[in-house]
Structure 1
């Protein structure tokens, strides 16, 4: 009898001891790390000059995609990434800053979401996940589509296209401040804020304060490496001398490195750079030193971001969560080519804005508080190498970005060359989380079978997918691509490329393949009709719209300064006139 009682007690104890293990949800955690304006070869694993050991470690353990495509504009890209739908289907046909006013009443260009919009946050939250986001949000109208309204249980976000990495200072002229929100409420930033460090700290805080019996979705949306490019000095100085060769030589080096790594075929050729790009040899020694330093800041910011990603990974490892976490690291679009220094009267106006706003753009302050550093188009072409152009354009340099994924169920397979669309991410992660969904809900489809080794591709050779923002457009069909770019870097004409041998887009094959070319243009027209694209003309350039809006905002904000300057000029002119008249009077005899 005594033995039976002891056995019964042991069984009860064993059953009670197993309750926590049974109660813990073993579905995978999900960590999405989204960089801003990172080019195809900007991760170390993809051939960068920047050191990114933590990202590279994930690439070795999992898969790195060589044909991952996203929108060339940040807001539309982010809308697609979190919804799994085409940007027009969610009302984000372009950026708020580039949308034509007459389009705002159309479904594809509302810039606001209705309350029923589903996101990966709401879908996983409904399925029992904890859902967190820290960093840049930047989807549509400021404050209208905040993540706390759409399924993210905790959120700490900047709702803007960009801003300082040290405070709330905007980088665009005419704006008063950058808007930050925590759980939907406006906030100030801490005095010691630095974007990559602080955003990781906040994410760790959110994860640690949640119910660890539930899996989590953590969306870490970094400011790195958007304008203004900024980093602690120790990271910048670590690259002294690295970029002294200049952009022409280093673009060619990255081209060859991408071939060696198996990211592109050996037949890949570099497209000629735009005629407005400066040759490195044309610069003075002072200009070269300044340009190299700017790229050092960019590399330092990349390495700093990687370091803080590593802190987050190490924290997850220490708490026992990392082994059950799928980690995705990618970029919202290709590299930024904007400049903050110009020639002639344009530079006079820009310098005046910098003076009014308190920017310190001296060479010694590059990358520091109050700096306004940008790498410009020539270095952007290096970041996008071996591809053509960069952010804003529907060329490979604007659309094709790095994508690393690792974690439970992901087969270590190195470079994966099959195409993946940004909208594929939501259904992929839902399937990984064992959440049922209706495939018809999404523009994208799950790539999980390919990532787990169950298939070699997500799209068949005769299946196509498209992109469009502000007239810049592309459609992919197997190895084929048609693309159209508007000014200032394009002419509005469609072209056809075989990107299986020419990802640099150097040979237009439309004339030699007219039936295919016409068929693909028809498929693009069907795509545009399905998602709600409004056809624009070359005169509707996003840059023209952006310039007009920035001038309007600048005039609205700076008119007192302009008035003061005007009055000062009038007063100076009057005094000069009086002086000349007095000097011209005949002197008394």
Structure 2
């Protein structure tokens, strides 16, 4: 939205993983001032109509709504995730999912499905606009964010596709991406984390459920693709397509969340499912009231050939597809030139012939590469970096240093040559000490410039998230827990009375 590094605009991490101590630093304020510029404000100033529908999620709920930052029309779910058929929260302890239209709270209609309805709303906004004036439209689909939901019409199309399991399919996908030329032939897979389950260790029932969960995931993606196609067809019928640049980007890696665990935690989660009236049966996976997720093992398959997945600074959590088409964009197929998410704003401003100061952004325009004028977006010595909750990376040409925090990482920096090892399997820091130290120094300079704070070795964003979840659950479900305890005590008291009565009769 801003062309800036997330810390530079007060969004140093997810709002769910911030602590009171972190909020004292500007990079973690989770709040935007009214004069915060976005791509929407800049394009509005240039005469564009601006629209957004879908998942917003910048800071606290209601704190930074898009109508304050250049969007003429907006229909957004703010600062959280929710169901695809209704505004039902999926996080235990959450009370509601908040939707806003043009800054005002709204309720969802009964006939709601996220991908279809968000595209419908976007078409409505464009249709109601001035057809003689240009527009910028940001469609932020919920697919494929948890909960994974789509009708059986789509899920059933993938019957049998995932029955081989994640271990086999991870190897198959490695060979597939090599054959397509998406990665070099030298690419190998990183070992799976110890916490990942082996497919062969699952019971037949567990395999059946897990395969079905991935079917829902695939069906939801196909459904989203269909509705994106509807939007493109609408633009074509209105005579707008030939003058429209379309960008499609993915979330930052596949989501590894789980909906079942072992031991007491699963008992508590099952109780929450009952209280919230979730239907997690096999037959209902993907349907209304379901709570479906693919888990870390399938997420690893979806990220293949890269290591790990969403939230981490490995390639599995940073490198995602970007598809661009439209006037002035070369039909060049797959390009390997790196694009930072912050590059999108200056690139689109450049494409729209809107004057701007390149030095005002962390990102840079990559329009020359998209136009086919060059096959590069950055010189070999240029660097760019990322950091979220201790997960960090810095890129320089073919080289990358990265650090992943627990639970999947150990907070140690490593050096990889992505030109031969995009799977990040061979740490070359020991063989290239000068390069390694130089890149570490560049990361430190970046960190100080943007205001990223260093977390301690025991700090863990997921711990913060989980603690907040527990607190929310205690706050929301204590009446249920109290009622359960009282019911148990009453049952024990009645049982005691019954046993004592029977004993007296026997004694008599």
Sort the TM-score into its range (normalised by shorter chain): over 0.9
State yes or no: 1:283 paired with 2:202.
yes
Q: Do 1:492 and 1:537's aligned partners in 2 also have CA atoms closer than 8 Å? A: no
Quote the offset at 1:232 in angstroms: 1.7
CA offset digits 1:302-353 (Å, max 9, x no partner): 0000001111111111111101110001113100001001111111100111
Question: In the alignment, which residue of structure 1 is the partner of 2:272?
Answer: 353
Equivalent residue number for residue 129 of structure 1: 48
Aligned to 1:366: 285
| Equivalent residue number for residue 446 of structure 1 | 365
Paired with 1:373 and 1:228, the residues of 2 have a C-alpha distance of: 5
Is the contact made by 1:121 and 1:151 (CA closer than 8 Å) also made in structure 2? yes
In the alignment, which residue of structure 1 is the partner of 2:169? 250
Deviation for aligned residue 1:109: 0.3
Q: Equivalent residue for 1:208?
A: 127
Tell me, in whole angstroms, the C-alpha distance in 2 between the residues paired with 1:115 and 1:143.
14
Contact 1:471-1:538 at 8 Å conserved across structures: no
CA distance in 1, matches of 2:505, 2:52: 78
Matches within 5 A, 1:502-513: 502-513=421-432
**Which stretch has the larger CA shift, 349-358 or 564-573?**
564-573
C-alpha separation in 2, matches of 1:139 and 1:263:
32
Aligned counterpart, 2:102: 183
Structure 1 residues 344 and 438: CA distance shift in structure 2, 3 A: same
Matched, 1:472 2:391: yes
- Aligned mate of 2:400, from 440, 461, 481: 481
The answer as to whether partners of 2:80 and 2:97 remain within 8 angstroms in 1 is no
Name the counterpart of 1:555: 474
Corresponding residue for residue 35 of structure 1? none
User: Matched residues in 1 for 2:435 and 2:503: separation?
Assistant: 80
Partners of 1:570 and 1:308 in 2: how far apart? Answer: 54
Per-residue Cα deviation, 1:420-444 (whole angstroms, up to 9, x for no partner): 1100000000000000001121100
Q: Which of 532, 545, 550 pairs up with 2:464?
A: 545
Distance in 2, Cα, partners of 1:476 & 1:316: 37
- 1:3-34 Cα deviation digits (max 9, x unpaired): xxxxxxxxxxxxxxxxxxxxxxxxxxxxxxxx
Partner of 1:495: 414
Q: CA RMSD in A?
A: 1.2
Indicate whether 1:148 and 2:60 are aligned.
no
The whole-number CA distance in structure 1 between the counterparts of 2:195 and 2:375 is: 41
Q: Larger Cα Rg: Structure 1 or Structure 2?
A: 1
Deviation string, structure 1 residues 287-314 (Cα, Å, up to 9, x no partner)? 1111111111000000000001111111
Separation in 2, partners of 1:394, 1:503 = 13
Q: How does 1:164-563 map to 2 (within 5 A)?
A: 164-563=83-482
Distance 1:197 1:530 in 2: 42
Once the two structures are superposed, residues 266-293 of structure 1 have per-residue CA deviations (whole angstroms, 9 ceiling, x without a partner) of: 1000111111111111122221111111
Give the gaps of 5 or more residues in structure 2: none
Q: Tell whether the 8 Å contact from 2:386 to 2:393 is kept in structure 1 after alignment.
A: yes
Contact 1:134–1:219 under 8 Å retained in 2:
yes
Alpha-carbon contact 2:40-2:71 (below 8 Å) kept: yes
| Contact in 2 for aligned 1:93/1:108 (Cα 8 Å) | yes
Q: Which residue of 2 aligns with 1:43?
A: none
Q: TM-score, normalised by structure 2?
A: 0.98
Q: Distance in 1 between matches of 2:367 and 2:84?
A: 35
Which residue of the other structure, out of 33, 36, 43, is the alignment partner of 1:117? 36
Looking at structure 1, the residues matched to 346 and 370 of structure 2 have their Cα atoms a distance apart, in angstroms, of: 13
Q: Is the 8 A contact 2:398 2:419 kept in 1?
A: yes
Whole-Å Cα distance in 1 between the matches of residues 360 and 501 of structure 2?
Answer: 81
CA contact (8 A) 1:96 1:141 kept: yes
Shift of 1:201: 0.6
Q: Matched residues in 2 for 1:149 and 1:130: separation?
A: 14
Q: What is the Cα deviation at residue 567 of structure 1?
A: 1.3
Q: 1:568 aligns with which of 483, 487, 490?
A: 487
Greater relative contact order (Cα 8 A, min sep 6): structure 1 or 2? 1
Give per-residue Cα distances to partners, 1:196-252, cap 9 Å, x unaligned: 110111111111111111111011100001111011211111111111111111111
User: Cα distance, 1:476 vs. partner?
Assistant: 0.6
Residue ranges of structure 1 left out of the alignment (5+ in a row): 1-81
CA distance in 1, matches of 2:421, 2:266: 38
Separation of aligned partners in 2, 1:379 and 1:160? 26
SS of aligned partner of 2:376: coil
Q: Secondary structure of the equivalent of 1:544?
A: helix
Structure 1 residue 106: deviation in Å?
1.1
**C-alpha contact 2:2 2:39 (8 A) present in aligned 1:** yes
- TM-superposed CA distance for 1:459, in Å, is 1.2
